[in-house]
Every structure is written in structure tokens, then in C-alpha cells.
Chains A and B, each alone.
Chain A
Amino acid sequence: MIKLNLTQRALLVAGSAVGALANPLRGDLVATLGETTGTAALNTMRDKMRMNKTGLEILKDRPRVTGDTMDTEYLSSLPANTFGHHYYQFMSSNKLSAQRAETKFVEDEELAYVMTRYRENHDFLHTLTGLGVTVPEEICLKWYEMVQTELPMCALSALFGPIPLSLAEKRLLLSEQIPWGLACGRASAFFMNIYFERELETDINLMRKRYKISLAPRMKGSV
């Protein structure tokens, strides 16, 4: 954890914002921007977690999702209808690693954990919403996350992310994906309060129903 003074923080926000816009593939810049601008939203998120029984448990246990905590052998052995199996399918078919950037610039250690947890929930959300890893789908998920978390970084990605997309993709975003993100974000349970690790053996459709998460509209080119 790194303590920043005001100048350093301002420069880091400005620099990572410019850098992330210039090169959105630099995940580390996006992460840095998220951390340096997220304090207010992280506070709200923590409060929401504290007011929820499961959320409180998560804050107490501080479960982590890393390559080590997720047993691929166990996940792949789960029945095809389970959340765990879908998660395994999503991760392996996209060749993703569960490892996420460490939180470095959030000073309060509980808020730092909330940030980490938010990041580590991202792949679970992909699994539940059925969204893949193409740029339009990631943006779609960002709209959902923005409504749920109010993190400025999500808003930035949600707003600026679509710029390089084709006209057809933008049209699809505007007509279907963004409305889904907004609606589902408002309707569904606060995802930070889902103890995903305990739901690995739950039927995925049951989970969607319980937490009111609807499948996102099918993307062009996605399966």
C-alpha cells in the first residue's frame, strides 16, 4: 500500500487517465485510475456491504480469488448446470487467469479489500450475465458495474470505451446493451454482497433468479 500526497495523487489521476484513454489495453493504468478516483464510491460500497449479512461476512472473511484459491480440477468436475462449472467454462475457453492487479493506491485497508474484491468479482459477473470478453461486451458489463458500484472508473470506461467501436456496434450498444446494463444494474441485488465462492455448486439459473440478474442480450459474433 502506498501513501500519496495531493500532488502525487493529482498527477497520477491525470497521467493514468490520459494513458488509459490513449491505450485502453494498459490494464495497469485503468486499475491505477480506478484506485486513485474511487475513494467515495468504495466507501458507499463498504457501507452497503456492512448493512448486508453476507456482505458483512465477506468483509470479515476477506475471501480472495486467485489462481491458488480456485481449484480448476474441482470446478471442472462440477455438474454442467452449476455456477462453478460455467465459471470454469468461461475462464478456460477465454484462457483467462484469475490473477488481478494488486490494489496499491487505496490507503484504508478495508477499502483496499473492497477494491480487490470488486476486481475479483468481475469474472463471476461475466459468468452470470453471459457476457463474453469482446470490447462491446466488456463495455456492456461496465455499464452494469457503474450502476451498481458508482465507481468513477466504470463510468469513464462506460462513456469513453465505445469511441473506437464501429457504427454498427455503437448502435447495438445504444439500443440494447446499455439499456440492459442500466436496467439490470438497478434491478439486481448488490453483487458485492454475493458470496460467489459458496455458490459454486448452485444451479446457475437459480442464482440468476435469486439475485435478479438477467442474461445480457446476445452480442454479434459471440456464442
Chain B
Amino acid sequence: MLADRVDSEFDDQQDRAENIRRISQISEYAMPVFPSPLDTDPDIWGLTAVMTDRTFHATPSNSEKETHFGYQSIPESEKEEKVKEVFERVADTYDLMNDAMSLGVHRLWKDHFVKSAAPKPTFKCLDVAGGTGDIAFKLHKYMRNVNRDCEKIVVCDINTEMLRVGEERAAQMGVGENFTWVEGNAEVLQFPDNTFDLYTIAYGIRNCTHIDKVLEEAYRVLKPGGRFMCLEFSEVNNPLISQVYDKYSHDVIPVMGQLIAGDFESYQYLVESIRKFPNQETFAEMVAAAGFEVVEYENLTFGVTAIHSGYKL
């Protein structure tokens, strides 16, 4: 049975080769920067499990695929729930914490991101994982400055708590009617094919269990000519700055989380998940693998954050 499953599916073989290629790129990166109990576990990404699962379909069904949750390895099915929990806990202090952790710089990153996206007023925009509305508000402002009559922006987030925060803020600012708030999973979007001109995801893709699925979905819902844009933490290349940055994010950020939001673990998770995310080059390759063209990235603040972009042509 094992043999015929593997041999009969030529496509599956190809997928497998693709996967192995990706794994070999990723695993170099995947070693945590900080000592952790998982240092001894080479399978931090849970990718060996993915591989075995794909290669030997006869593996007992109880060996569920594992994925990373910060530095912990957890069954894949639990990640979504865990990430949701984290964001439920931090929803209300989310923006304050962003300011504190980045010393306000995240506002500049987001402004630059939206400026680079340069949405036309006629664009149909989808902001995924955009719960608190940060990006959506900036997109709207940009579009409205060009023409007061602009398209509604769709904000999609898996977490209702985060959406609630965004909706409340939109109402407070008196711009509530310019947004549609949709609860949904980035890996299985409920929108039809070829719907949007611009797909944005800021600091969200890191938390998704299957990044490749998110990219595939982004490709699907974009119109031909549409643009995928992603703002995400990335890898600092300057060794001196990266040392300071590592110390800061490991020692200072969780403590800030405890002091400001009363929550140490969620921010420890945040830092760990940043370390686990593929670096600029690897992620750019993943974007290209999903079918996007003219794939490029731009480092912000030494690569603490990077903007990734690709077109569906």
C-alpha cells in the first residue's frame, strides 16, 4: 500500500521534491537564535513530520503533523487555536504594546508600506489579519486623499476580538461605513477568485500554520494584475545590530508585555515566532513558488521588518 501510494502519484512526487527543497532552505534558518530546550530538537519547524507524512502514507494516524508555536512544537491542529488565544488576550493593549516595543517605529513601517502599495481609489483592497484596522485605516486615508469616492476596504481576521477593536475604532473615527469586517481564515478565504486589486497582510502571515496555503489563497483572490504585499518581521543582517536586537527582543519585549499588558507569555511567543519566520530570501522564494511574478523585497530598519511584494500576472 505504501509503495503504490507513493509510486502512483507522479504529482505527489513532484510536490515532495519541492517540499524537500524548501525544507533544506528553511532548516538552516530554523535554528533558534536563543538557547532553548528545543535547541536539541532539529525538527523545530515540524517539517520532518511533514516529510515523513508525505513520504510514508502508512504512518499511524495518531502521529499528527507538528508545527511551531514560538519555540514549542505543537500538533498542527492546535496552532490556530493557540494563536487565536494569544491575540484575544492582547487585543486591547495591542497598539500600545506595538508603540512601546518598536519605540513608535511600527507607525513609520506601516506608513511606508501603504505608500509603497499606493492603492488607487478604484482598487478593491483586502487586508488580511488586519483586525485592529491599522493598515486598513491607512489604506483608506491614502485612497481618500486621491478621491473622496473610494472603494470599501475589506478587513479579514480570524479573531473576532481583534475585529471588534478595529470596528470600534472605525466607528470612533467616523469612517465606519468605509470598511467591511469579515471573520475568516487566511488559508481558506471565502472570497471568489479574481476579486481584489490589492492584497495586504501586515504582521499576520507569521502566525499562520501553512504559509504556502496563505500565499496560494492570496494568488487566487487577486485579479490578474493584482498585487500581493506583505509586511513582516525579518532577519537583521548586520551582526552588530542583530546582537543588540536579539538581546532587546528576548529580554526586554516579554518584560514590557508583562508590565504593560500583564502578559509575559504572549510576547515571548511573539519574539519566538519572529525568529521562526523564514528570512527575506526564503520568503521571497515562497512567494514566487505560489505563482507571483516580479517578486521583490525591501528591508526596513536593517531588516527588522521587510516589505515583500509580488504581482499576479
CB within 8 Å of B: which residues of A?
2, 5, 7-8, 11-12, 15-16, 19, 28-29, 32, 104
Contacts and interface: CB of A to CB of B under 8 A. Distances in A.
Chain B contact-residue range equals 10 to 19
A19 B262 CA distance: 12
22 contacts: A2-B264, A7-B247, A7-B251, A8-B251, A8-B254, A8-B255, A11-B251, A11-B255, A12-B255, A12-B258, A12-B259, A15-B255, A15-B256, A15-B258, A16-B258, A16-B259, A19-B259, A28-B262, A29-B259, A32-B258, A32-B259, A104-B264
B252 interface: yes
A5 B251 contact: yes
A19 B268 CA distance: 20
Given A5-B251, A15-B255, 11 more contacts: A2-B268, A7-B247, A8-B255, A11-B251, A11-B255, A12-B259, A15-B258, A15-B259, A19-B259, A29-B259, A104-B264
A11 B247 CA distance: 13
Contacts of B265: 2
Q: Top 8 closest A-B pairs, CB basis?
A: A7-B251, A15-B259, A28-B262, A11-B255, A12-B255, A8-B251, A2-B264, A8-B255
B92 to A, nearest CB: 14
Contacts of A19: 259
A113 B6 CA distance: 54
Interface of B: 247, 251-252, 254-256, 258-259, 262, 264-265, 268
> Which of B247, B251, B259, B262 has the most C-beta atoms of chain A within 10 angstroms of its own C-beta?
B259
Contacts of B259: 12, 15-16, 19, 29, 32
> Which of A8, A19, A32 has the most C-beta atoms of chain B within 10 angstroms of its own C-beta?
A8
Contacts of A7: 247, 251
Nearest to B261: A28
A12 B252 CA distance: 9
A2 B268 CA distance: 10
A16 B252 CA distance: 13
Contacts of B254: 8
A34 to B, nearest CB: 13
A12 B259 CA distance: 8
B110 to A, nearest CB: 27
